[in-house]
Structure 1
Amino acid sequence: MIDWTGKIWVDRRGMKRVVPMEVLVLGLGRTGSMSMVAALQKLGYDDVYHMSAAIANPPDIDMWQEAIDAKYFGKGKPYGRQEWDQLLGHCMAVTDFPTAAFPEELIAAYPDAKVILTTRDPEKWYQSVYSTLRLALESRSLAFAGLLDRPFLGKLIPMMRKLWIGFFGIPDVRPQIKDRFIEHNRAVKAMTPPDKYLEYRVGEGWDRLCEFLGKPVPEEEFPRVNETASFEQLLQKMLKGSLVRSAKNVAKIFGPLAAVGVAVYFAKTQSLL
């Protein structure tokens, strides 16, 4: 299938690993994951899986849904090395959700990979989550788009919500998720061999990261991606793409005038983001 930008979506089922998995960044989202993507790519890790990768290639969402159902809801077969290689076989590193929700599975599948736990102050982490992810979980415009754009947002939104409920045990953003954040960090440290583990904050810069990975320190400054702005831009792109597909779907069924109505609705609801 081809998306609104002309990019071809890839079905990864049945694929094999084509590059070694070398780095597992298992800190939760909102701990500098987008900065880590840029940093790891600069250090030569190609490619780095991030939530944005699933958004860019919606067929991945079906596989993530299977993995989430198996681990958190007892439905289906848990993912093992074969399944992870299919989904992540083109990547040398991972970061952010959904991968961070599977630390035991990924460490078991890739025992030679080095593990980085990106972290930050729990209260600042919570405030960042509240100001960004809450929008994706609760946005009316995203929910409406999902009804009209089933190949993309119609799958992405349920996957994100189910992952959230499975991992945090609640359907929305509340202060108690800080306890889960702390618990997750402790668990990742406990399950990782000390010689393969680095606890890291992106504000530290290159030195400790490069020493841990055995890479030379780049001359340029460590990339600092504004994650709040980037996340909002990503939501806007998601809605823009969904608008194009939804308008086409509506036009096929109800005619051009209905498609114009969908466009007007989305134009008005952009302020919700």
Structure 2
Amino acid sequence: MAPELKLGHVVDWTGTTWKSRRGMKRIVPMEVLVLGLGRTGTMSMVEALRILGYNDVYHMSAAIANPPDFDMWKEAADAKFFGNGKPYGREEWDQLLGNCMAVTDFPTCAFSAELIAAYPHAKVVLTTRDPSKWYASVNSTFRVAFESRAFSLIGHLDPAFIGRMMSAVRSLWLGFFGVPDVQPCIVDTFVKHNEAVKAMTPPERFLEYRVGEGWERLCEFLGKEVPECEFPRINEANNFTLLLQKMMVGSIVRCAKTIGLYMAPVVVVGVAVYVGMSN
């Protein structure tokens, strides 16, 4: 049976473990860049890479676990897509990702060219899937969540977490996909991204891969022995829903404790909106 991705540790709602990564250094080599867009099996890839011995695989959930990361992601997005500030180079990426041996998912895939240039010895895996199915997955999960009134409401109540996450995600989404929020434009960006990653990576460092293929091609490419366990197949939609629940309920509880009981009616409204979104 495939192992399940553990999400119980994703966020310490008290904030005691949150830390800024600014000024940090690389402590492990960057070995694998998984640069397919989110919703291409990235959660399964996180677990697969961990099984293969790659510690600290950066995924969107890593930023959620440490919300100050979103400040740096917004900074990088504003510089790359909108010309505001200094573009990120090796020094900045080492600060943000210095404890990671591999990366996958959004927002790292939005900086594919920068990461390939920063880590010229890392192998590149492009996770792919059928474009129309990919769009349907994005449209029914990520977009529904981050365009919901619930997130906007909780973002105002909890600027330290949901608010800073929403600010970064908006910059990343608009910068990467552009303003037109219609299916042809988003799917076209998906296809062009895949083509660009393939074109910019030396063939000996590149593998185009679908998670459903299993271990063999991936392990051969990475120079790893095939594990005895089944390749992890994590239901991304279910895990995404679980992650949203943990984020929103935890954020509401933390806001209630911080702001005080007189805000209880607002918290109740937040819960009601959240429940309405999740049904």
Same fold by TM (over 0.5)?
A: yes
Q: In the TM superposition, what is the alpha-carbon distance from 1:161 to its structure 2 partner? A: 1.4
Aligned pair partner of 2:265 in 253, 261, 265: 261
Uncovered stretches (5+) of structure 2, i.e. residues with no partner: 1-10
Matching residue's letter, 1:267: V
Listed one character per residue, the Cα deviations across residues 108-155 of structure 1 (whole Å, up to 9, x for unaligned) are 000000000000000000110111011222110111000010111110
Alpha-carbon spacing, 1:171–1:147, altered in 2? closer, same or farther (3 Å): farther
Uncovered stretches (5+) of structure 1, i.e. residues with no partner: none
Q: Partners in 2 of 1:59 and 1:205 — Cα distance? A: 35
Listed one character per residue, the Cα deviations across residues 26-58 of structure 1 (whole Å, up to 9, x for unaligned) are 000000000000000000000100001001100
Aligned pair partner of 2:25 in 16, 22, 47: 16
Q: In the TM superposition, what is the alpha-carbon distance from 1:264 to its structure 2 partner? A: 1.3
Q: Partners in 2 of 1:173 and 1:250 — Cα distance? A: 39
Equivalent residues of 2:252, 2:270 under 8 A apart: yes
3-state DSSP class of the match of 2:160?
coil
TM-score for the superposition, normalised by structure 2: 0.93
3-state DSSP class of the match of 2:159?
coil
3-state DSSP class of the match of 1:198?
strand
Q: Partners in 1 of 2:32 and 2:45 — Cα distance? A: 11
Aligned pair partner of 2:163 in 154, 165, 170: 154
The answer as to 2:276 corresponding to 1:271 is yes
Listed one character per residue, the Cα deviations across residues 81-125 of structure 1 (whole Å, up to 9, x for unaligned) are 000000000000000000000011000000000000000000000
Matching residue's letter, 1:261: P
3-state DSSP class of the match of 1:152?
helix
Q: Partners in 1 of 2:180 and 2:240 — Cα distance? A: 20
Q: In the TM superposition, what is the alpha-carbon distance from 1:11 to its structure 2 partner? A: 1.2
Q: Partners in 2 of 1:21 and 1:201 — Cα distance? A: 22
The answer as to 2:55 corresponding to 1:55 is no
Moved over 4 A (4+): none
Q: Which residue of 1 aligns with 2:4?
A: none
3-state DSSP class of the match of 2:207?
strand
- Identity percentage over the alignment? 67
Aligned pair partner of 1:228 in 223, 237, 245: 237
Matching residue's letter, 2:276: S
Q: Partners in 1 of 2:154 and 2:84 — Cα distance? A: 27
Q: Partners in 1 of 2:215 and 2:221 — Cα distance? A: 10
Root-mean-square deviation (CA), in Å?
1.4
Q: How many residues are paired up?
A: 267
Equivalent residues of 2:12, 2:65 under 8 A apart: no
Equivalent residues of 1:13, 1:86 under 8 A apart: yes
Q: Which residue of 2 aligns with 1:40?
A: 49
Larger mean Cα displacement after TM superposition, 179-188 or 132-141? 132-141
Q: Which residue of 2 aligns with 1:117?
A: 126
Listed one character per residue, the Cα deviations across residues 178-219 of structure 1 (whole Å, up to 9, x for unaligned) are 111000000000000000000000000000000000000001
